[in-house]
């Protein structure tokens, strides 16, 4: 019986500290969200160094909630305000393993029932996963994909989790619910997820690593910590598996750390015929051809040996990925919406635009998120300045920071004399962008990159996510100007 099994686990787990509560209800379920708990829940709450005090944690998550037991990864000063709740604190390095054991009881994984493939990297995880999903589905595999865009079963969105890699309890619940409906699970593995144990115990048969550039230093503190977090993926790959990588620098760095637990194979971007580029314009970008090469290698590990003709034709199964080089074309105006939100991603996509549209001038609209690594803001400004003929700086997700301060940080990366505009409101900035394009001669080719939001349909500010879409703003301005659009 589940209740007995959960009670036994609580009683036998080697916690660092516990305070029993004999009057607490017997446990009946596990949760990772306090607002999903009932009186029989065991709430697993992972505490981070996020600037909140324990009193704020109690007020925000615990006060007024009902649950039978609380398991945390460190002691909290608010424990004395939680009478009637059994309290348990794991040892510093045991958190992920403790959560995994409870998941094994509530949401067991049948050994060998599913094949797991993970993809990490600073940029390109989502695109690689969606390409891989499409190739496997075209060859008759039932695919569950989990990532930034949500959870998809056979290409149909099931739910949006709000995470690149959901917390382990939620991940295991999703896997359990879909265990009889999928053959292969393809999932993004973010550095946060790998560091926090959100994919603990997932038996990856194979994995991919796209690239590695500066990001998330607000969390990982330094670049070495960020790389080490991503490298944890190798320890999750089962014997006989391998890691495919599209960055020689990443492979060399892994080798310098010592012997890797599985083989690491470096792939070059796929060379595609003109027919493929004409049919799938997003494959004109070198980084997308690298993502495609990674997807093909991982797919063929599942599908086995294939005739050369079939292997060369995988590109036919691909579709554009939401918010990744999402194009609208009117005459000689090409508007590109893309999720690029790091210095390397901006440099990469703008370089690709320069290569793919050699006669065009380029205008870039971008911002930077708040409450995140401030050091990357001037680097993003410098990357945009290197490749753009015109620049509009605006808001992205300011979160709890004044957007003007974020913009000031970006501007420090511009070279002296750089011409640019600042329009804080993102919708107004896009309208300004279209007005600038409309003012240019019709025969003059322009590419407008609207970067940073991509697939996101909100602006995150002051603790609230307000509905917003770059795609909708682009369509609104196309209509306002009477411009037709070809996607």
With helix as H, strand as E and coil as C, how does 385-438 read? HHHCCEEEECCCCCECCCHHHHHHHHHCCCCCCCCCEECCCHHHHHHHHHHHHH
Give the model's pLDDT for residue 52: 86
Question: Per-residue confidence at 216, pLDDT binned at 50, 70, 90?
Answer: low
**Which contiguous run of DSSP H or E holds residue 467?**
strand 464-467
Global pTM? 0.86
Domain spanning 115-317, CATH class? alpha beta
What is the distance between the alpha carbons of residues 393 and 411, in angstroms, rounded to a whole number?
A: 8
Q: Is 308's pLDDT higher than 90? A: no
Give the model's pLDDT for residue 26: 94
For the stretch 428-480, pLDDT in tens is: 999 999 999 999 999 999 999 999 999 999 999 998 999 999 999 999 999 99
In the CATH hierarchy, which fold is given to the domain comprising 326-481?
3.90.190
Q: Are 43 and 82 in contact (CB under 8 A)?
A: no
Question: Per-residue confidence at 487, pLDDT binned at 50, 70, 90?
Answer: low
SS3 call for 458 = strand
Segments of the chain assigned to CATH 3.90.190.20? 326-481
Q: Is 186's pLDDT higher than 80? A: yes
Segments of the chain assigned to CATH 3.40.1190.10? 115-317
Q: Is 249's pLDDT higher than 60? A: yes
Q: Classify domain 2-106 by CATH number.
A: 3.40.1390
Give the model's pLDDT for residue 214: 56
Phi and psi at residue 466, in whole multiples of 5°?
-90, 130
Give the model's pLDDT for residue 282: 87
Mean pLDDT rounded to a whole number for the chain: 93
SS3 call for 61 = helix
Report the pLDDT averaged over residues 402-411: 98
Q: Is 219's pLDDT higher than 80? A: no
Segments of the chain assigned to CATH 3.40.1390? 2-106
Q: Is 221's pLDDT higher than 70? A: no
What is the distance between the alpha carbons of residues 400 and 464, in angstroms, rounded to a whole number?
A: 10
């Amino acid at each position: 019986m589940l209740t007995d099994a959960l009670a036994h686990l609580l009683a036998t787990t080697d916690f660092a500290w516990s305070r029993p509560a004999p009057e607490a209800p017997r446990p009946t379920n596990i949760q990772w969200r306090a607002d999903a708990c009932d009186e029989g829940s065991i709430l697993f709450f992972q505490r981070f160094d996020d600037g909140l005090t324990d009193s704020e944690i109690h007020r925000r998550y615990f006060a007024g909630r009902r649950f039978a037991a609380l398991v945390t990864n460190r002691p909290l000063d608010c424990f004395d305000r939680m009478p009637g709740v059994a309290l348990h604190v794991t040892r510093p390095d045991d958190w992920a393993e403790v959560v995994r054991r409870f998941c094994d009881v509530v949401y067991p994984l049948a050994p060998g029932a599913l094949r797991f493939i993970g993809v990490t990297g600073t940029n390109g995880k989502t695109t690689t996963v969606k390409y891989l999903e499409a190739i496997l589905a075209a060859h008759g595999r039932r695919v569950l994909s989990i990532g930034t865009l949500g959870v998809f079963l056979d290409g149909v969105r099931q739910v949006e989790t709000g995470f690149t890699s959901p917390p382990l309890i939620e991940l295991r619940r999703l896997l359990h619910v879909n265990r009889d409906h999928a053959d292969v699970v393809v999932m993004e593995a973010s550095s946060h997820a790998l560091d926090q144990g959100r994919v603990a115990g997932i038996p990856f048969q194979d994995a991919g690593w796209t690239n590695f550039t500066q990001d998330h230093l607000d969390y990982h503190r330094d670049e070495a910590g960020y790389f080490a977090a991503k490298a944890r993926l190798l320890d999750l790959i089962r014997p006989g598996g391998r890691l495919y990588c599209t960055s020689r620098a990443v492979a060399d760095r892994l080798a310098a750390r010592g012997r890797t637990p599985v083989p690491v194979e470096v792939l070059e971007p796929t060379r595609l015929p003109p027919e493929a580029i004409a049919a799938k314009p997003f494959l004109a970008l070198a980084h997308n051809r690298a993502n495609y090469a990674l997807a093909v290698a991982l797919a063929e590990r599942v599908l086995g040996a294939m005739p050369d003709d079939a292997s060369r034709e995988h590109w036919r199964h691909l579709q554009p990925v939401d918010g990744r080089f999402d194009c609208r074309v009117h005459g000689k105006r090409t508007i590109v919406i893309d999720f690029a939100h790091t210095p390397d991603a901006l440099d990469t996509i703008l370089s690709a635009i320069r290569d793919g549209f050699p006669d065009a001038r380029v205008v870039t609209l971008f911002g930077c998120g708040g409450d995140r690594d401030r050091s990357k803001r001037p680097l993003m400004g410098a990357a945009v300045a290197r490749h753009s003929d015109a620049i509009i700086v605006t808001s992205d997700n300011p979160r709890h920071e004044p957007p003007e301060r974020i913009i000031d940080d970006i501007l420090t990366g511009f070279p002296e004399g750089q011409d640019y505009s600042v329009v804080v409101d993102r919708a107004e900035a896009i309208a300004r962008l279209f007005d600038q394009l409309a003012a240019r001669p019709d025969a003059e080719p322009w590419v407008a990159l609207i970067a940073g939001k991509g697939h996101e349909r909100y602006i995150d500010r002051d603790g609230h996510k307000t509905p917003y879409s770059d795609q909708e703003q682009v369509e609104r301005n196309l209509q306002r100007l009477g411009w037709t659009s070809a996607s």
